[in-house]
Amino acid sequence: MRFGGGRIDSVNDSEGLKSLFPARTPETRPRVTDDTVTAARVITAVLTIAEQQLLHC
């Protein structure tokens, strides 16, 4: 069975990939806010508590 009928001209499609995944710049990089840091700390704390509870079962 053969899928697709198109012809592949080139395996190197770096320009196409660059347009899909542009390089991160200071303007496009997501900003880290205090809320983001707080959420990460809460998630880490919850996971740590859950791991401790599993170890003591």
Among residues 26, 44, 24, 42, which one has the least CA distance to residue 34?
42
pTM beyond 0.75, yes or no: no
Assigned domain for 20 exists:
no
Residue 26 lies in a domain: no
Residue 56 lies in a domain: yes
Number of domains within the chain: 1
Please indicate, yes or no, if residue 43 is contained in any of the structural domains.
Answer: yes
Structure tokens at 17: 């990939």
Name the helix (H) or strand (E) containing 42.
helix 34-55
d(CA 51, CA 54): 5
Domain that holds residue 55: 31-57
Please state the rounded mean pLDDT for residues 4-31: 70
- Interval 18-56: pLDDT, tens: 777 777 787 777 778 888 889 999 999 999 988 888 887
Rounded to whole angstroms, the Cα distance separating 43 from 4 reads 45
pLDDT of residue 7: 64
- Is 38 a domain residue? yes
